[in-house]
Chain A
Amino acid sequence: MKIAHSETTKLPLTYKLKRINYGLIILVTACCSIGFAMLYSAAGGDVEPWAQRHLVRYFVGLLAIIILGVINIRFLFKGAYIFYGVSLMLLVFVELAGEIGMGAQRWIDLGLIRLQPSELMKISVVIVLARYFHIRSYHEIGNPLHLAIPAFLILLPVALVIKQPDLGTAVMIALSGLVIFFIAGVRIWKFILLLLGGIALVPIIWQFLLEYQKKRILTFLSPETDPLGAGYHLMQSKIALGSGGLYGKGFMQGSQSHLNFLPEIQTDFIFTMLAEEFGLLGGLLVLLLFFLISCYGIILSFFMVSKFARLLTIGMTTTLFLYVFINTGMVMGLLPIVGVPLPFISYGGSALLTSMTAIGLIISCNVHRDVIISRFSDEEA
């Protein structure tokens, strides 16, 4: 076993770079390459307007992964509440700007990319919860009062994001928060209680949903009722997938995708196009890549010393998993249509940034897996 690192231990940079998980980076690179190819196809065989930028963002993201990977997680641990606070302020800011502007505004224009605070929040919420639970003992977690604060930390951004309205992101934030709760050791019966409460609340939440959100959920429940209305996208997506068959229609040959039967092929429905053009084999390959990324994160977490690192790794893995599951589940008709992109493959700066950050944080946790983070309290390791 390696030496236990005290709080003051500084790892040399070369040591850190060696410990970066290049396997994970290769998996991400594979996904991004697929994304590049699909965006090229989506544009009808052109690197403009998407593929080229996607490539640039990949390199920027790669740099970010390396930088995040070598940043000491104690810095993340200390800054957790600040990140959370900044993300929350930005969320409130777009909310206000949205009211001044028109309709749903979800982003802040930074010139280079349009920053979606809700994407930042996906990361921040996990970091802040990881920190919160890190310093709580098993005994403390048993006390419901100690769960009120993290619950509030989740619900606040979720409420803001729902109001944007962005149901998909809200669900993702809530679910990744819940997963942290679960891993942190919250009693199972509390989850059951939450589940029952949630079911009871469904009719009330229903009231607050916007018309198009209700429609999408209803459509999900019975898509064939309105094939040219709200069920149209789902039906067309299933047609595209189904007509792809085992081997697909060939690169750039997806008739559904290229004849505008599918909306947003460069973002939400990119998996549909992929599976239409490359068939079941292509679809399974992509799912396999994401499965490997997930496994990677979970396996790494077992070797981490600090609870913070473990929770953060699981949280980030879960965030990525949720992206993939919600996106592919929605285009396959397993889930309602809620605009969630596919990490590394869909076009879009914010989502790519979030995904890359998640990978970067997982790597950072792994690089610093032997670092012990004190609970600031009396307790000695």
Chain B
Amino acid sequence: MKQRKRQEFQKLISRRTAILGGVKFSLFAALAGRLYFLQIEEAEKYRTLSENNQFNFQVLPPVRGRILDRNGIPLATNKDNFRLEIVSEQTKDVAETIKMLQEIIKISPEAVERILTETKKKRSFVPVLVSENLSRKEVAKVAIQTPYLPGIKIDIGQTRYYPFRDLAVHLTGYVATISQSEKTGDPVLELPGFKIGKSGIEKSFDSKMRGRAAQRQVEVNAVGRIIRKLPGEEIQMGRDVKLTIDVSLQSFSTKRLAQGNSVYTPVDDPRIQRALSEGRNLPPGTDPVNGYVNIDYRGNVLAPESGAAVVMDAFNGEVLALASTPGFDPNSFSSGLTAADWENLLSNPRSPMTNKAVSGQYSPGSTFKMIVCLAALEAGVAHQETKVQCSGMIEFGDSRFHCWKKDGHGWLNMVGAIEQSCDVYFYELAKRVGIKRIGEMAARFGFGETFNFGLPGENRGLIPTPAWKRKTFGQAWHAGETLITSIGQGFILCTPLQLAVMTCRLVNGGRPVSPRLLQNENRKTLKTKSLQVNPQHLRTILKGMDKVVNGPQGTARKVVNRNMKFQFGGKSGSVQVKRISLDERESGKFKNKDRPWHERDHAMFVAFAPLKAPRYVASVVVEHGGGG
């Protein structure tokens, strides 16, 4: 009995042992299955992860190319940015080292706090920024003390620097930290703090000036310390961009444009002081620059004039100066701009961010009259001696069309009409030649054209045609609108650059030059094909422009100064921003000075010099400047 029980018990143990063996076998099978899953099924995924672990990409940023003027003077360059970094594994006590450093250079308590938290967060061999944009003097002081500052490292970075500050900002543009949407996959763009061109030349030639970063694979261990550098590509430095701009002319133009007719006065002038003490805050955009403000003849503080100026070589199209005011200091973008400053820039009614020379669209005003003349001459509907009597206005259709001179100019020939900018004369020409031929002539002289010469944001302007009007407004073209167009008002729009191009083509004998901004560009031989304009007709126009400045009745005779060493010709223009009502016309209250700034006329001027053998042309637009 017992014997049987014992045997049964032995069988039980054997059975249980067999079960255990089965369990172990299935667990081994599970291990093998898991190993298979990890090493075969998911091998690809883990292999990638392993390589990511093992290799890091290191990107060495290239130095950005400079922007130079025609004489090699830099408009945008790179400045050494001395920075102090601390490596926490090289110092016993970070706080102690920072305290020592504070005796040499200024470090704000907030900065100290940031440094301490960052050194705790980052791995001990990763340098943490302590301070940047140090002066050479400060660096020298720190350098001498380095034995007593364990862990402190001096690092030289590069910061974009614009020596002419706001004077050429619309040419150079500015650089700023890249935004997420601008990333193209170039690894250099992924670098923290990498800056790219956001406007102007910096933007349009960004890839050329950026150069190519060197990518280097480095083998790292688990904590990210570099074990081995693998051979990689070399850095390709950014290339310089040399412009046709003459920086002294550029500076003069910008300053002169901003100043306008106001007087540049130091802030400590008693009148300014009084205005400030009386609690009259300076209007926006009038902040003192270098301790100076602009004031008008009544002593009011003025904002810098808002406008644009272009100076070009009439024969090869080189742009010598291209100014737009007001501007801003592009250096502030390199060192970081506060949100408030940015907001100010955007909200300023004089739009400092816009390059008005290429983007600003204005009606050309009387500066368009040369095109109307030329259209009439070329069409054969008028000649040099065509005479028209101006009585101050003409009636056409149901409307009256006024001349700017209420009492009229009397009998005028073409040169006289240009000299005195008689509106009635051009109404008459317009009636004869028609809108179609005016538009065609305008197009031949650069209106409605973009030149793609290297600045972003070029606007096309507008040459109005009956077809255009029907498409846009669904209305027929009125003959009266032809008259309005003939004096450069109404729908027609152009940019200051187009005005300069027009003047170039007028004074160079009808050669179709286009603006150029890059000096090392392959000098294209000028298109031999001319605009097919009779040179005799052009001479008539230029004679008129001569009289505008130098004639006894010229609209711009006041600008000539006896001391001037050279003579020039030109044409003024003023563009109504607000329609003058009949009431106002009769009461005579439409003088510009009496109206608020934004209702005043735009002032235009195009000029060429020297008078006898024109070489350089200029166009100037002063927004709400009051009149040519």
Closest 5 CB pairs of A and B: A242-B46, A243-B50, A260-B222, A280-B39, A259-B221
Inter-chain CA distance A332–B54, complex, in Å, is 20
Inter-chain CA distance A287–B33, complex, in Å, is 11
Does residue A283 face the partner (Cβ distance < 8 Å to B)? yes
Inter-chain contacts of A256 with B (CB < 8 A)? 50, 53-54
Does residue A215 face the partner (Cβ distance < 8 Å to B)? no
Does residue A291 face the partner (Cβ distance < 8 Å to B)? yes
Does residue A374 face the partner (Cβ distance < 8 Å to B)? no
B17–A280 CB distance below 8 A? no
Residue on A with the closest CB to B43?
A245
Inter-chain contacts of B219 with A (CB < 8 A)? 259
* Closest chain A CB from B25 CB (angstroms): 8
* Closest chain A CB from B461 CB (angstroms): 58
Q: A138-B12, A261-B221, A310-B17 are in contact. Are A243 and B32 (CB under 8 A)?
A: no
What 0/1 readout, one digit per residue, does chain A (256-298) give for beta carbons within 8 Å of chain B?
1001110000000000000100011001100100110011001
B8–A275 CB distance below 8 A? no
* Closest chain B CB from A146 CB (angstroms): 15
What 0/1 readout, one digit per residue, does chain B (389-418) give for beta carbons within 8 Å of chain A?
000000000000000000000000000000
* Closest chain A CB from B610 CB (angstroms): 74
Does residue A255 face the partner (Cβ distance < 8 Å to B)? yes
Does residue B580 face the partner (Cβ distance < 8 Å to A)? no
**Cβ contacts A to B, 19 pairs, < 8 Å:** A138-B9, A179-B20, A185-B9, A236-B53, A238-B38, A242-B39, A243-B50, A256-B53, A256-B54, A261-B221, A275-B39, A279-B39, A284-B35, A298-B21, A298-B24, A301-B17, A333-B34, A334-B34, A379-B2
What 0/1 readout, one digit per residue, does chain B (216-227) give for beta carbons within 8 Å of chain A?
000111110001
Inter-chain contacts of B221 with A (CB < 8 A)? 259-261
B222–A283 CB distance below 8 A? no
- Tell me which residues from 35 to 61 in chain B have a Cβ below 8 Å from any Cβ of chain A: 35-36, 38-40, 42-43, 45-47, 49-51, 53-54
Inter-chain CA distance A290–B10, complex, in Å, is 27
Residue on B with the closest CB to A280?
B39
Inter-chain contacts of B220 with A (CB < 8 A)? 259
Inter-chain contacts of A55 with B (CB < 8 A)? none
Inter-chain contacts of B40 with A (CB < 8 A)? 245-246, 280
Inter-chain contacts of A279 with B (CB < 8 A)? 39
Does residue B16 face the partner (Cβ distance < 8 Å to A)? yes
Inter-chain contacts of A287 with B (CB < 8 A)? 28, 31-32, 35
- Size class of the contact patch on chain B: 35 or more
Inter-chain contacts of A138 with B (CB < 8 A)? 5, 8-9, 12
B39–A307 CB distance below 8 A? no
Residue on A with the closest CB to B27?
A325
* Closest chain A CB from B503 CB (angstroms): 66
Inter-chain contacts of A307 with B (CB < 8 A)? 10, 13
Inter-chain CA distance A310–B16, complex, in Å, is 12
B20–A298 CB distance below 8 A? yes
Residue on A with the closest CB to B223?
A260
B39–A245 CB distance below 8 A? yes
Does residue A115 face the partner (Cβ distance < 8 Å to B)? no
* Closest chain A CB from B472 CB (angstroms): 59
Inter-chain contacts of A185 with B (CB < 8 A)? 9, 12-13, 16
* Closest chain A CB from B221 CB (angstroms): 4
Inter-chain CA distance A283–B36, complex, in Å, is 9
Inter-chain contacts of A379 with B (CB < 8 A)? 2
A280–B222 CB distance below 8 A? no
Does residue B107 face the partner (Cβ distance < 8 Å to A)? no
Residue on B with the closest CB to A281?
B39
Inter-chain contacts of A241 with B (CB < 8 A)? 35, 38-39, 46
Inter-chain CA distance A283–B50, complex, in Å, is 18
A259–B53 CB distance below 8 A? yes
* Closest chain A CB from B10 CB (angstroms): 8
Does residue A84 face the partner (Cβ distance < 8 Å to B)? no
Does residue A321 face the partner (Cβ distance < 8 Å to B)? yes
- Tell me which residues from 165 to 205 in chain A have a Cβ below 8 Å from any Cβ of chain B: 179, 182-185
A314–B20 CB distance below 8 A? yes
Does residue A137 face the partner (Cβ distance < 8 Å to B)? yes
* Closest chain A CB from B27 CB (angstroms): 6
- Size class of the contact patch on chain A: 35 or more
Inter-chain contacts of B20 with A (CB < 8 A)? 179, 182-183, 298, 314, 318
Q: A256-B53, A260-B222, A298-B20 are in contact. Are A242 and B47 (CB under 8 A)?
A: yes
Inter-chain contacts of B31 with A (CB < 8 A)? 287, 325, 328-329, 332, 334
Indicate which residue in B30, B42, B43 contacts A334 across the interface (CB closer than 8 Å). B30
Residue on A with the closest CB to B42?
A242
Residue on B with the closest CB to A290?
B28
A255–B223 CB distance below 8 A? no
Inter-chain CA distance A241–B39, complex, in Å, is 6
Inter-chain contacts of B24 with A (CB < 8 A)? 294, 298, 318, 321
Residue on A with the closest CB to B52?
A239
Inter-chain contacts of B39 with A (CB < 8 A)? 241-242, 244-246, 275, 279-280, 283
Does residue B14 face the partner (Cβ distance < 8 Å to A)? yes
Inter-chain contacts of B9 with A (CB < 8 A)? 137-138, 185
- Most-contacted residue by chain A among B31, B34, B49 (CB, 10 A): B31
Inter-chain CA distance A333–B33, complex, in Å, is 13
* Closest chain A CB from B69 CB (angstroms): 52
B43–A332 CB distance below 8 A? no
Does residue A59 face the partner (Cβ distance < 8 Å to B)? no
Inter-chain contacts of A291 with B (CB < 8 A)? 25, 28
Residue on B with the closest CB to A235?
B49
* Closest chain A CB from B219 CB (angstroms): 7
Inter-chain CA distance A307–B6, complex, in Å, is 11
Inter-chain contacts of A295 with B (CB < 8 A)? 21
- Tell me which residues from 44 to 96 in chain B have a Cβ below 8 Å from any Cβ of chain A: 45-47, 49-51, 53-54
Inter-chain contacts of B25 with A (CB < 8 A)? 291
Does residue A302 face the partner (Cβ distance < 8 Å to B)? yes
Inter-chain contacts of B227 with A (CB < 8 A)? 259
Does residue A154 face the partner (Cβ distance < 8 Å to B)? no
Inter-chain CA distance A314–B15, complex, in Å, is 13
Residue on B with the closest CB to A379?
B2
- Tell me which residues from 284 to 337 in chain B have a Cβ below 8 Å from any Cβ of chain A: none
Inter-chain contacts of B34 with A (CB < 8 A)? 329, 332-334
Inter-chain CA distance A284–B39, complex, in Å, is 11
Does residue A62 face the partner (Cβ distance < 8 Å to B)? no
- Most-contacted residue by chain A among B24, B39, B45, B49 (CB, 10 A): B39
Inter-chain CA distance A179–B24, complex, in Å, is 11
What 0/1 readout, one digit per residue, does chain A (289-331) give for beta carbons within 8 Å of chain B?
0110011001001100001001000100010010001001100
Does residue A240 face the partner (Cβ distance < 8 Å to B)? yes
Q: A138-B9, A245-B39, A280-B35 are in contact. Are A239 and B50 (CB under 8 A)?
A: yes
Residue on B with the closest CB to A232?
B222
Inter-chain contacts of B53 with A (CB < 8 A)? 236, 239, 255-256, 259, 261
- Most-contacted residue by chain B among A259, A295, A325, A379 (CB, 10 A): A259
* Closest chain A CB from B228 CB (angstroms): 10
* Closest chain B CB from A328 CB (angstroms): 5
Inter-chain CA distance A33–B31, complex, in Å, is 22
Residue on A with the closest CB to B50?
A243
A243–B35 CB distance below 8 A? no
Inter-chain contacts of A310 with B (CB < 8 A)? 13, 17
Inter-chain contacts of B10 with A (CB < 8 A)? 307
* Closest chain A CB from B490 CB (angstroms): 67
Inter-chain contacts of A137 with B (CB < 8 A)? 5, 9
- Most-contacted residue by chain A among B5, B17, B21, B220 (CB, 10 A): B17
Residue on A with the closest CB to B36?
A280
Inter-chain CA distance A269–B36, complex, in Å, is 18
Inter-chain contacts of A325 with B (CB < 8 A)? 27-28, 31
A294–B17 CB distance below 8 A? no
Inter-chain contacts of A301 with B (CB < 8 A)? 17
Given A236-B53, A260-B222, A298-B17, 7 extra CB contacts under 8 A: A137-B5, A137-B9, A241-B38, A301-B17, A302-B14, A332-B31, A333-B34
